[in-house]
A and B are shown apart, each in its own frame.
Chain A
Amino acid sequence: MPRRLSYREALREALREALLADPRVFLMGEDVGRYGGTYAVSKGLLEEFGPERIRDTPLSELGFVGAGVGAALGGMRPIVEIMTVNFSLLALDPIVNTAAMLRHMSGGQFSVPIVIRMATGAGRQVAAQHSNSFEGWYAHVPGLRVLSPATAEDARGMLAAALADPDPVLIFEHAQLYNLEGDVPDHTVVDTCSARVRLAGTDVSLITFGGCLPKAIQAAEQLAMLGISAEVIDLRVLRPLDDATVMTSVRKCRRAVVIDEGWRTGSLAAEVMARISEQAFFDLDAPLARVCSEEVPIPYARHMEEAALPQASKIVAAVQALLGSAP
């Protein structure tokens, strides 16, 4: 019997399961212990597992992410929570220069089995410095696996798969998703290599991930009322990208709109579009299109923030532009 869980509860269950299953696993980050996590994901875990395994850290991303990399090298299975992607910029060096590269630089002698979780995205009126979406930056780096769970099931299942990976894995949790509820199977096993068709359709592929998935589904529902059948692809894994699922969908629908909360220029959407034009050019029936964030620091004012971000209405408009008078 699948259970109805919030994304937050699913994450917490996954953490608890990991902590119970493997004594090498520990959680470390700002306010993860006594405060229960900034997004209340780790609430109650300190009481259950104690301060050795649920470790509050100082406000120093460079320090505690570096410590996590060291622990992973030392044989532990650290789960490091960075409060939001915005602050991960302070830890770019241990993530990119160390964790991602050590296997290569050591000729395969070292691996860094670290899992780094972080909240990402905008939409909560927390202003520019707290509203970034840098998934695309990390997806640029070889040596990292970048996950973007967008459903409660993936929130529940991806952590175990990430911990089983001998190399560094980043998990991006969109802050708008924590309260989202979804069905979670009893023994959740998910992969960390494939994209998923979340909604089948025939006229246009809406390719997206993370916080934009609910918007894409909403857009698909609106398009259905206009007689346009949209297929929604959830990338799930941003590095390495699952080209096959994307191309299968695009070859069927012949039109694609990529939706990405990152800024347009140099976005992950741009990468997906480039791959489609490389691999499925002759299957296209219209130019590729994307709906990204406006190229501005995300505004604080609600109406401006909404205007800056991808929205279902923008997706619908983009699809209509692609279709001309066809179907």
Chain B
Amino acid sequence: MIEFKLPSLGADMDEGTLLTWHVKPGDTLKRGQVVAVVDTSKAAVDVDIWHEGVLHELLVHPGEKVPVGTVLARLLEPGEVAATAVDAPAIAAHASRRAVSPSARRRAKELGVNVESVKGSGAQGAVTLADIEAAAHATTATPDRQTEMRKAIAAAMSRSKREIPHYYLAETIPMANALDWLQQHNKDRPITERLLPAVLLLKAVALALQRTPELNGFFREGQFMPSAAVHTGVAISLRGGGLVAPALHDVDNKPLPLLMQELADLVKRARAGSLRSSEMSDPTLTVTNLGDQGVESVFGVIYPPQVALVGFGSLTTRPWVVDGKVRAQPLLCASLAADHRASDGHRGALFLAELRDVLQRPESLDATATQASVQ
């Protein structure tokens, strides 16, 4: 190992400030090569080296003022291998484990914070207790968001019940035809392409609305404004609590397989918390399905400024009179909560009747889509 020391660049020089290095570790240095610029009290001077070798390490940083004779750098003699054994463990020890204070480490464990992801503000950059708590606070925005969501739901529902004169209607819909059709449709398809009853219901609602446009749209500033498009809000309960009802767009015009895909995607993204803002504000009517919970029917609260909410209960097999005979039939209770300012019960009844009829002709749900897409 060769030590390269700061030479005296004049009889009156006893210290110098290193300005620049012209070389870096690993460079092969030749005798007479300029390796650095050093500022003496008089001038900046190019410093050349009188050893041959490979530059191993620089010991003085630019800007540092050091006395004459200070080792500025170390060189490996030709053929010499760096004896790093002494220095290596210390460096490795630092590299292998972050400096995290004992209290910070304990708190991180309690709070489930990953210390590796926390920036340290303590001595030598160590992660401190306060750093962990700040990080934990940042990541526990989730409970806060839930609180916020609860507040938002509370505000919207209170407003709904305060402002909207709801009326409620219900209709029992025989589902034998629809389910038969669905079974037939799904029979030869892989699981990923099969349709769920839910998507059939969404489509049926959208088509039924064509006859009763006063249920689809917004009540704003004292009057109802119908919507040409049918963007069905789908109520999705979230695992952490609360619910959202983002829109499936243009449900009346889309073929069932596409709606099925979009619905699956919407549910997934709603639960991952990655909905788009348009999906949150667009719904023109909301559909809620509590059938999975086994309730017979649901009379919902309208989400303002919408004017209607369609609810589905569970599919159950019950006695039903068909052609004068009692038969076991799969039945579904569809309900409508509607804003009396925008529509009357008569129109609401018409809608439910239409919904019932549409579901008796399931092939029309698919056919309409085909027809629409042809146009």
Contacts and interface: CB of A to CB of B under 8 A. Distances in A.
Given A285-B128, A285-B129, A286-B126, A326 B121 contact: yes
Contact of B104 (A285, A287, A323, A327): A285
B102 A324 contact: no
23 contacts: A254-B101, A254-B103, A281-B102, A282-B106, A283-B103, A284-B102, A285-B101, A285-B126, A285-B128, A285-B129, A285-B130, A286-B101, A286-B123, A286-B126, A321-B123, A323-B122, A323-B123, A324-B123, A324-B126, A325-B121, A326-B122, A326-B131, A327-B130
B125 interface: yes
A254 B101 CA distance: 10
A282 B100 CA distance: 11
A283 B105 CA distance: 10
Given A284-B102, A324-B124, 11 more contacts: A254-B129, A281-B102, A282-B102, A285-B102, A285-B104, A285-B122, A285-B126, A286-B126, A324-B121, A324-B123, A326-B130
Nearest to B128: A285
Interface in B127-156: 128-131
A24 B125 CA distance: 61
Interface of B: 101-106, 120-126, 128-131
B133 to A, nearest CB: 11
A35 to B, nearest CB: 51
A75 to B, nearest CB: 52
Nearest to A321: B123
A322 interface: yes
A254 B133 CA distance: 14
Contacts, number: 50
Given A254-B129, A326-B128, A284 B122 contact: no
Contacts of B129: 254, 285
Contacts of A281: 102
B113 to A, nearest CB: 15
Given A324-B120, A326-B130, A285 B125 contact: no
A284 B123 CA distance: 12
**Residues of B contacting A: mostly:** helix
Contact of B123 (A282, A283, A287, A327): A287
A283 B102 contact: yes
Contacts of A286: 101, 122-123, 126, 128
A284 B103 CA distance: 5
Contacts of A321: 123
A254 B121 CA distance: 14
A324 B123 CA distance: 4
A323 B130 CA distance: 11
Nearest to A322: B123
A280 to B, nearest CB: 9
A279 to B, nearest CB: 12
B261 to A, nearest CB: 51
Interface in A247-273: 254
A324 B125 contact: yes
Interface string A310-327: 000000000001111111
Interface string A120-139: 00000000000000000000
Nearest to B131: A326
Contacts of B102: 281-285
A326 B127 CA distance: 10
A214 to B, nearest CB: 26
B210 to A, nearest CB: 65
A196 B73 CA distance: 52
B103 A282 contact: yes
Interface string A182-214: 000000000000000000000000000000000
Nearest to A283: B103
Nearest to B120: A324
Contacts of A324: 120-126, 128
A217 to B, nearest CB: 23
A281 B103 CA distance: 8
Interface string A285-303: 1110000000000000000
A326 B125 CA distance: 10
Contacts of A285: 101-104, 122, 126, 128-130
A260 B174 CA distance: 90
Nearest to B101: A285
A321 B122 CA distance: 9
A281 B101 CA distance: 9
Cβ-closest 9 pairs across A and B: A285-B101, A324-B122, A324-B123, A326-B121, A285-B128, A286-B123, A282-B106, A282-B102, A325-B121
A327 B130 CA distance: 9
A196 B122 CA distance: 28
A284 B105 CA distance: 10
B125 A284 contact: no
A321 B125 CA distance: 11
B208 to A, nearest CB: 64
A322 B101 CA distance: 11
A243 B126 CA distance: 27
Nearest to A277: B102
A323 to B, nearest CB: 7
Nearest to A287: B123
A286 B123 CA distance: 6
B194 to A, nearest CB: 55
A281 B129 CA distance: 13
Interface in A2-57: none
Most buried by B among A283, A286, A327: A286
